[in-house]
Amino acid sequence: MLGLMQNQPLLTSMLLDFAARYHGDAPIVSRRVEGDIHRYTYRDLAARAKQLANTLDGMGLAAGERVASLAWNGYRHMEMYYGVSGSGRVIHTLNPRLSPEQMAWIINHAEDKVLCFDMTFLPLVQAIHAQCPTVKQWVALCDADKLPSDSGIAGLISYEGWIGGQSSDYTWPQFDENTASGLCYTSGTTGNPKGALYSHRSTVLHAYGAALPDALNLSARDSVMPVVPMFHVNAWGLPYAAAIVGCKVVFPGPAMDGKSIYELMESEQVTTAAGVPTIWQMLLAHVQGHGLKFSSMNRTVIGGSACPPAMIDTFREEFGIDVLHAWGMTETSPLGTVCTLKNKHLKLPAEQQMAIRVKQGRAICGVDMRIVGDDGQDQPWDGKAYGDLLVRGPWIMDTYFKGASPLVKDAQGRSWFPTGDVATIDADGFMHITDRSKDVIKSGGEWISSIDIENIAMAHPAVAMAACIGMPHPKWDERPIVVVALKPGAQLTREELLKFYEGKGQAKWQIPDDVVFVDAIPLGATGKMLKTRLREQLVDYKLPGL
């Protein structure tokens, strides 16, 4: 027997309609590529998203076609999120940090029909447009009078000129909630990138999950800054989750340095933000270097790679800001887990609380997790046993766009997505990533967590960034070394850093065999350490004594 409730599909347009109706005057503030600060409201956002929808209808773009964005975080990008998906097309967010070859490959694979880009990326578009025959309309996200006359891109139009003459009267179409809404490719550090194709249903459910108190804890009283780019898994869903609660949104645009982020946080009284650890490192360096304080921030979401415990500590102890350590992937929309304490943890001594806070946290309801050993058997949830992390749920990917399904079945026939991460889960359900499976170091048959080794090095005041990698060893198979970039002007010797590992909970055989100092650790397209590149750089390296 079916329930007798209204069968209204979960569509992204309903989030925008809600925000415009119930939080119509809540501000959306953007630092623009042009350099100025732009302000408007959810009501304005909805009107302009409808103008965009009318534009797409007017050009006869069929439902399901891909409209690509190559843009920083800002209001026009948010209009694209809603105007494109709400009208039944698919918003495809391109990562501008990929190589031009990768970008052209992705555009062709996605068969993008329209591509809207920030003027910052004009040279990039000029370099690749000839290799992208599927794109019928190139749109520069700028005013009509800012459009260059000699771009060399046939039919280039300004976004404002494109949508400007259109009506803001538009009724969002209703369709199956399983219809595709967004497309995002993995960064593809090895091989070609793969596309995760989100649906309206997955996007809306993820937004509800993200807003929950034990997830990002969003409310109408927040002023939220997505520092994580809108081309990195939909800025972790924040443009959708913000609409669910109607909070103020503050977009940092292209100015991602510590000073610009800090100043915008202060001037817009940002209460919470989200980004990868490298961004927060720059922010902290600026704030600490200038003796500044945060006047409105109370928590920040850090994920994308492991947040060093030293960073969690600094935010809490020096600035009174809670870190919400979060884990997720392009294929998981992305939020899978967030680390927040349970009631029974509140009375624990600070040190024991900290041991929990460094973990990637508990599943958000809607996500289920397992860890399995090499034999495919479930590992115990004791916080010690490692296993490959598998996840499932309504906002977890099933099949890659135009690709295969990576899912694996369990004994009950249920399908799970293999994350490629290795993790422990404790009795309270807190998941802790120890490594990417391809980064796991096996020394004498025993696993060494590269993240643990990196976290200790990152706690040294002279260290800006540390990457632990395994090096071939004739007796032990592999031994860990730590590759370190120092803070500007800082001094540290190999011996000093190795000594620093003593008494930090590592067995002797887990302490790295060597320290290699480099000017900078190579970073990938989403700000994560590129260990593949590092291994290439160290191809001639030999462990001491070999």
Nearer to ligand AMP, 170 or 327 (CB): 327
The minimum distance between CB 400 and ligand AMP, in angstroms, equals 12
Which is catalytic among the residues 331, 340, 359, 424? 331
The minimum distance between CB 190 and ligand AMP, in angstroms, equals 12
The minimum distance between CB 260 and ligand AMP, in angstroms, equals 24
Which is catalytic among the residues 134, 259, 447, 478? 447
Phi-psi region of 48 (alpha: psi -120 to 50; beta: other; left: phi over 0): alpha
- Token pair, residue 429, equals 């359900």
157 touches 137 (CB < 8 A): yes
Which is catalytic among the residues 186, 278, 419, 526? 186
Helix, strand, coil share of the chain (percent; to 5):
30, 25, 45
Which candidate, 340, 339, 336, places its Cα nearest to that of 366? 336
The minimum distance between CB 358 and ligand AMP, in angstroms, equals 10
Q: How many CB atoms lie within 10 A of CB 437?
A: 13
Q: How many CB atoms lie within 10 A of CB 78?
A: 28
59 touches 152 (CB < 8 A): no
The minimum distance between CB 151 and ligand AMP, in angstroms, equals 31
- Lookup result for tokens 């309903």: 14
Nearer to ligand AMP, 138 or 327 (CB): 327
The minimum distance between CB 464 and ligand AMP, in angstroms, equals 19
Q: How many CB atoms lie within 10 A of CB 513?
A: 18
Nearer to ligand AMP, 46 or 228 (CB): 228
- Token pair, residue 16, equals 């925008």
Query: Distance (Å, rounded) from C-alpha 240 to C-alpha 225?
Result: 13
Establish whether 331 is a catalytic residue.
Answer: yes
Query: Distance (Å, rounded) from C-alpha 261 to C-alpha 268?
Result: 11
335 touches 359 (CB < 8 A): no
Which is catalytic among the residues 136, 293, 442, 542? 442
The minimum distance between CB 133 and ligand AMP, in angstroms, equals 28
Establish whether 442 is a catalytic residue.
Answer: yes
What are the residues whose beta carbons fall under 8 Å from the beta carbon of 180, sequence distance 6 or more?
A: 64, 90, 197, 198, 199
Nearer to ligand AMP, 118 or 421 (CB): 421
57 burial type by CB count under 10 A (0-12 exposed, 13-18 middle, 19+ buried): middle
Tell me the Cα Rg of the chain.
24
Strand bridging mode 463-473 / 477-486: antiparallel
First to last CA, the chain: 71
Helix axes 277-289, 258-267, angle to 10 degrees: 80
Nearer to ligand AMP, 222 or 454 (CB): 454
The amino acid present at 311, given as its one-letter code, is: M
The minimum distance between CB 78 and ligand AMP, in angstroms, equals 20
Query: Distance (Å, rounded) from C-alpha 25 to C-alpha 41?
Result: 5
The minimum distance between CB 360 and ligand AMP, in angstroms, equals 5
Establish whether 447 is a catalytic residue.
Answer: yes
The amino acid present at 91, given as its one-letter code, is: I
Which candidate, 508, 516, 525, 526, places its Cα nearest to that of 492? 516
Of all residues in the shown chain, the one whose CB is closest to ligand AMP is: 330
- Quick one: DSSP state of residue 379? P
Chain residues that interact with ligand AMP, rule: CB under 6 A: 186-187, 233, 303-306, 325-330, 334, 360, 419-421, 433, 436, 526
- Lookup result for tokens 């170091």: 441
- Token pair, residue 473, equals 């060893």
The minimum distance between CB 7 and ligand AMP, in angstroms, equals 33
Nearer to ligand AMP, 237 or 303 (CB): 303
Nearer to ligand AMP, 300 or 330 (CB): 330
Which candidate, 182, 172, 174, places its Cα nearest to that of 50? 172
Nearer to ligand AMP, 316 or 436 (CB): 436
Nearer to ligand AMP, 71 or 306 (CB): 306
Three-state secondary-structure class, residue 381:
coil
Preceding amide of 334 cis, omega within 30: yes
Nearer to ligand AMP, 137 or 278 (CB): 278
Q: Which residues are catalytic?
A: 186, 331, 442, 447
